Amino acid sequence: MRPYSLIAPAKINLYLEILGDRSDGYHELAMVMQSVALADQITLRANGTARIQVFCDHPDVPADQTNLAYRAADLMANTYAEAYRQFGGVDIRIDKQIPVGAGLAGGSTNAAAVLVGLDLMWGIGITQIELQDLGAQLGSDVPFCIAGGTAIATGRGEVLSPLPPVDQLYVVLAKYQSLSVSTAWAYKTYRQRFEEAYIREGDRLSDKRNAMKSGALVSAIDQADHGQIGKRLYNDFEKIVLEEHPQVAALKAAMAACDPLGCLMSGSGPTVFALAETQEQADRIATEVRSVIPDSDLKLWVTQLYHHGIHLAPH
């Protein structure tokens, strides 16, 4: 059986608001998610055994059963036991380009690629909605990663409604290599820090929803108004992550001083991104940030908004 190679793009959050708590222990969110061209490549190969194995050269990516890509294959094997018996085990090779623990959904997009890839490899023909339901069992961002593009995400992040694609804006991503933020820590800390207001808001979820500020960003996306898109970026997690990690706050300030369309921390961080109209502007922002912060631990990428989720790699 031929191997299947898939492109698994990263995501950024153009908007992230924590609305309240949920009975399942997760948090109710309002987000605008956006794929970017920075991507991992996932290759699936039948291995002729009954085992699922993960291979990844990146030192921070576990190759054991805790890897979300492993868990995705395991979920497929359990859900489609007949196909698993017929085709046997699989080797999952992860070519990691997306930084780890970064707020860019690197683990989620790998899991999404395994779901999409095994469906193709085993010839099952699962609908995208069914794949997204499976994905939601693995992580809140997995359903978005399958579809990609630009979308509003509500619920715990898995309820999606697509938005029109934003034109080819450029994106500068910046992350301190040695700094990672745990999403679980970020939610816990946000909750503790804003407990008083937060619990009240939880009780009045519908009031909070009515006061949501995402409308202006969504209108700007509808109207392809790049200036307004840049001005309306928002992320509740900045309140705690920028305070906990002053170097990330300084990084965001350095980016903002370069006059981008807008800049924001993505997800629970610590990656900060800037939007730019042209590649020249994005390159200039990256160069200026590098000159203000010459720290070799700081890594910068220039990429683009991307209009696809998981897809087969070109040959």
Closest to ligand C5P by CB, 26 or 87: 26
Sign of CA dihedral 149, 153, 156, 159: negative
The verdict on whether 141 is a catalytic residue reads: yes
Least spacing, CB of residue 305 vs ligand C5P, in Å: 22
Question: What order of strands is seen across the sheet that includes strand 262-265?
Answer: 262-265, 272-276, 170-176, 298-304
Which one of 7, 10, 12, 29 is in contact with ligand C5P (CB under 6 A)? 29
The CA-CA-CA angle for residues 241, 236, 294, to 5°, reads: 40
11 is catalytic: yes
Which of 191/284 has CB closer to ligand C5P? 191
Which member of 141, 175, 208, 236 is catalytic? 141
- Indicate whether 100 belongs to the interface with ligand C5P (CB under 6 A): no
d(CA 149, CA 305): 8
3-state secondary structure of 301: strand
Beta carbon nearer to ligand C5P, 52 or 181: 181
To ligand C5P, the closest distance from the beta carbon of 154 in angstroms equals 10
Distance separating alpha carbons of residues 48 and 103, to the nearest angstrom: 36
Sole window of 22-30, 91-99, 145-153, 199-207 interacting with ligand C5P (rule: CB under 6 A): 22-30
By the rule CB under 6 A, 267 interacts with ligand C5P: no
Identify the residue among 26, 97, 194, 231 touching ligand C5P (CB under 6 A).
26
Q: Which is nearer to ligand C5P, 121 or 240 (CB)?
A: 240
One of 11, 96, 175, 252 is an active-site residue; which one?
Answer: 11
Is residue 15 near ligand C5P by the rule CB under 6 A?
no
Please tell me the distance from the alpha carbon of residue 19 to that of residue 17, in angstroms, as a whole number.
6
* Choice between 31 and 276, CB closer to ligand C5P: 31
Instruction: Looking at 42-105, list the stretches that DSSP marks H as alpha helix, in order from N- to C-terminal side.
Output: 68-79, 81-87
Task: Identify the three-state secondary structure at position 156.
Answer: coil
Report the distance separating Cα 77 and Cα 211, nearest Å. Answer: 44
What the block records as the tokens of 12 is 């950024």
Q: Per CB under 6 A, does 252 bind ligand C5P?
A: no
CB of 275 to ligand C5P, least distance (A): 24
**133-192: contacts with ligand C5P (CB under 6 A):** 139-141, 156-157, 183-184, 187
Cα 149 from chain centroid (whole Å): 11
Cα angle, residue 238 at apex, residues 234 and 243 outer, rounded to 5°? 155
Q: How far is CA 231 from the centre of its chain?
A: 21
Q: Name residues contacting ligand C5P, limited to 105-124 (CB under 6 A).
A: none
Distance CA 143, CA 127 (A): 12
Shortest Å distance, C-beta 215 to ligand C5P: 20
- Binding residues for ligand C5P, rule CB under 6 A, total 11
What the block records as the tokens of 84 is: 């698993």
Q: Which is nearer to ligand C5P, 189 or 281 (CB)?
A: 189
Q: Residues of 273-305 as b/e, b for ≥16 C-beta within 10 angstroms? A: bbbbbeeebbebbbebbeebbeeeebebbbbbb
Q: Which x/- pattern, by CB under 6 A, does the window 56-85 give for ligand C5P?
A: ------------------------------
Kindly give the pairing relationship between strand 27-46 and strand 90-95.
antiparallel
Q: Is 27 in the site for ligand C5P (CB under 6 A)?
A: yes
Site of interaction with ligand C5P (CB under 6 A): 26-27, 29, 139-141, 156-157, 183-184, 187
Catalytic residues: 11, 141
